[in-house]
Structure 1
């Protein structure tokens, strides 16, 4: 179910998809954001969200990342992506990023890139 969000007077729709686990215990969820009026250039952002069960038994969980993905974080992602050239009102390929430290978007390397 897509949620509606206004950022700087522009409507966006966003949704969060299930967790994808990696063998080292890290995991991420896929945040999808599109322009509110039509689906044109979509934005996919991988948001790290680890499985806390992997860390049971540790007195401290080094590197454990869990975060609430809500409208505040999504608005920040929209602003960051627009600053990096995302134009949701135009047709174009889906842009894919990793969210780092809730403050920086890092491009996902193309498939097959090292």
Structure 2
């Protein structure tokens, strides 16, 4: 199910998919954002999210990352991605990023060469 969000007068649809395994055993959730008018260039953002229940018996859980993904965070991601060249109203390959510390997007794959 996707949700509607308006950022700087532009409507987007976003959805969050469940936990997936990432590099180095880190877990993440996949945030997908598209232009609400039509799906053209999609945005995929890996949002780090460790499941504390899977690490309950590890003893030290201080390094775990859990975060709430809501409209405020998604709006910040949209602004950051637009600043990095995401043009959702144009056709193009899906851009993939990792969200670091809720403050910056790190490109994955071909986007890194830009």
Scaled by the length of structure 2, the TM-score of the pair is 0.89
State the aligned residue count: 110
**Unaligned stretches of 5+ residues in structure 2:** none
Q: Residues 7-26 of structure 1 correspond to what in structure 2 (within 5 A)?
A: 7-22=7-22, 25-26=25-26
Q: CA deviation at 1:59?
A: 5.0
Unaligned residue ranges in structure 1 (runs of 5+): none
1:48/1:95 CA distance change after superposition, 3 Å: same
Q: Measure, in 2, the Cα distance between the counterparts of 1:8 and 1:40.
A: 19
Distance of 1:13 and 1:61 partners within structure 2: 34
Distance in 2 of aligned mates of 1:68 and 1:40: 27
Tell me how far apart the structure 2 counterparts of residues 59 and 92 of structure 1 sit (CA, whole Å): 45
| Bigger helix fraction | 2
